[in-house]
Structure 1
């Protein structure tokens, strides 16, 4: 065999071997890509995304699309060829596996966490929208979760309303931790609660729950790094009673990032006139009860997905602006927002056609 032919054959065989190895060698990465975008003013799966009963609503038009990111599952093991392809592709992003699934988090755990965050984002979106409209919402502090094998397990339960700690009234979730950590590990702390069952019964009967119980729990030392403190093993959250029904019907979506767009959709349905002026607006961002917009993950994938769907404007959390602006899809205007008020102001300009002075995202 001529020397040149042998060299070419050896090179070809080497290339084939490398490609085969790339297919079978797993790498510790995961992939993110644009997921579905859904118009919060429209329908999904044959029914309205936002359903409001017990209060006057108004016709809407245009789009207020929430956006999502599709990710590979926790147990999926990407190979080297897939990783290289993902790095080179414009509409995907390859990230370390631990970025999406830290500390060995399973698919089931991730799905549950996303479902809880999605549920909380819906509650905050309702509160933020109604507050913006000066519609009163009743709120109280509850036991959100109880840590397994913690001192509070079996003593406190998710949904219990925390009225006081050591006789001191609780007004915010942060009050609970502040009052517990006034103790030294091993000391007793007394919770005054309305049991979850009593609270649920009162809400169903549209009355104020009055039955309270006192629960004494012995604190233990925290497990986290840093200064040791007293804990009982719960996290506190906020629950609400709304003056009318606001339901968000959207299955197979998780995480907190649709909060802003849900809040805007609710606001639009409860106010006369069109919030968008018929324009196609998409966006993302968490939202808290006071209407503050927070950052999310996968912003680059969400802008691509929004533009592919037809969006011309994208409401972007201020803390995500720099990343989004580095690779903005052609034809999409990024609008920087930090609160629901910012978003409403931007939408006012968009529907009026005064877009020259919209707060823009920059890459620096």
Structure 2
């Protein structure tokens, strides 16, 4: 066989071997890509996304779109060819698998966590919008979850209202951990609670729950990656009573990142006129009960998805601005926001045509 032919054959065989290896060898990466965007002022799957009853509402035109990101499943094993293709593509992002599924988290565990975060984001969006409108909302600290096989299992239950810990009144969820960790592992901590059933009955009767009970729990030592401390095995959260009904109808979405856009949609429907002036505005960002906007993941994919649907402006959490500004889709203006008040101010400028006054994102933030 001539040397040239042998060299070409060897090179071809090597290329085939490399391609086979690229297809067969898994790599520890996952893919993110733009997901659906949904107008919070409109309908989804045949019904309004925001359904408000018991209070006057107003027609709202334009778009206040929440945005999402698609990710590969926890058990998907990407090969090298897929990873390289994703790295080269503009509308996808390749990230380490552990970024999306840390500590070996399963698909089921991730979905459950996302569902809980989505539910909490809806509650915070309602509270933030109503506070901005000056509508009072009753709030209290509750047992959000109880860890299986923890000291609190069977002693405290999800939905129990935490009134005090060791006799000290609890005003916000973070108070609970602070009071528990004053103890050493093995010591008792006393929770004063309104049982979940009592609270539910009181709410149904539109009365304040008054029946409390003391529950003593022996603390244990934490086993997570943080510093060792006393724990009882619960997470605390906040529950609310609203003066009228606000329902958010949106299935197959998870995580907390739609909070800002839900809050703005609620605000728009409860006030005359249009927040957007008919413009197509999209955005993202977590929100807490006080209206503070927090950062989210996958910002680059969300801006791409929003622009592909026609968005002209994108409300961007301040902490995501630098990353988003590095590759802004053509025709999309990134607007920096830190609070719901910032977002409302930006929307006023947008509908008034005063776009020069908008706080725009830059690669420095």
Q: In the alignment, what sits opposite 2:221?
A: 221
Name the SS of the counterpart of 2:357 in structure 1: coil
Q: In the alignment, what sits opposite 1:32?
A: 32
Range that drifts further, 267-276 or 220-229:
220-229
Q: In the alignment, what sits opposite 1:203?
A: 203
The count of residues paired between Structure 1 and Structure 2 equals 364
Structure 2 CA distance for aligned equivalents of residues 96 and 260 of structure 1: 28
Q: In the alignment, what sits opposite 1:167?
A: 167
Q: In the alignment, what sits opposite 1:179?
A: 179
Q: In the alignment, what sits opposite 1:105?
A: 105
Structure 1 CA distance for aligned equivalents of residues 6 and 309 of structure 2: 52
Structure 1 CA distance for aligned equivalents of residues 327 and 24 of structure 2: 32
Q: In the alignment, what sits opposite 1:75?
A: 75
Structure 1 CA distance for aligned equivalents of residues 207 and 226 of structure 2: 44
Q: In the alignment, what sits opposite 1:21?
A: 21
* Deviation (angstroms), 1:181: 1.9
Instruction: Give 5+ residue unaligned stretches, structure 2.
Output: none
* Deviation (angstroms), 1:168: 1.7
Per-residue deviation, residues 171-197 of structure 1 (Å, max 9, x unmatched)? 111111122222222221111111111
Structure 2 CA distance for aligned equivalents of residues 360 and 130 of structure 1: 27
Structure 2 CA distance for aligned equivalents of residues 16 and 271 of structure 1: 64
Normalization by structure 2: what TM-score?
0.98
Range that drifts further, 117-126 or 8-17:
8-17
> Does 1:50 find its partner at 2:56?
no
Structure 2 CA distance for aligned equivalents of residues 228 and 49 of structure 1: 44
Structure 1 CA distance for aligned equivalents of residues 192 and 330 of structure 2: 57
Q: In the alignment, what sits opposite 2:310?
A: 310
Structure 2 CA distance for aligned equivalents of residues 116 and 228 of structure 1: 26
Name the SS of the counterpart of 2:206 in structure 1: coil
Q: In the alignment, what sits opposite 1:3?
A: 3
Range that drifts further, 3-12 or 33-42:
3-12
Q: In the alignment, what sits opposite 1:345?
A: 345
Structure 2 CA distance for aligned equivalents of residues 259 and 9 of structure 1: 59
Change in CA separation of 1:69 and 1:226 when aligned onto 2, cut-off 3 Å: closer
Structure 1 CA distance for aligned equivalents of residues 288 and 334 of structure 2: 22
Name the SS of the counterpart of 1:356 in structure 2: helix
> Does 1:277 find its partner at 2:277?
yes
Per-residue deviation, residues 25-63 of structure 1 (Å, max 9, x unmatched)? 111100000000000000000000000000000000000
Structure 1 CA distance for aligned equivalents of residues 228 and 67 of structure 2: 41
Per-residue deviation, residues 115-171 of structure 1 (Å, max 9, x unmatched)? 000000000000000000000000000001111211111100111000111122111
Q: In the alignment, what sits opposite 1:265?
A: 265
Name the SS of the counterpart of 2:14 in structure 1: helix
Structure 2 CA distance for aligned equivalents of residues 93 and 192 of structure 1: 48
Structure 1 CA distance for aligned equivalents of residues 338 and 147 of structure 2: 33
Q: In the alignment, what sits opposite 2:360?
A: 360
* Deviation (angstroms), 1:227: 4.4
* Deviation (angstroms), 1:24: 1.0
RMSD over equivalenced CA pairs, Å: 1.0
Change in CA separation of 1:41 and 1:226 when aligned onto 2, cut-off 3 Å: closer
Structure 2 CA distance for aligned equivalents of residues 61 and 226 of structure 1: 48
Structure 2 CA distance for aligned equivalents of residues 323 and 168 of structure 1: 43
Name the SS of the counterpart of 2:94 in structure 1: strand
Range that drifts further, 139-148 or 229-238:
229-238
Q: In the alignment, what sits opposite 1:246?
A: 246
Structure 1 CA distance for aligned equivalents of residues 275 and 258 of structure 2: 18
* Deviation (angstroms), 1:12: 1.8
* Deviation (angstroms), 1:234: 1.0
Structure 1 CA distance for aligned equivalents of residues 179 and 14 of structure 2: 67
* Deviation (angstroms), 1:225: 4.6
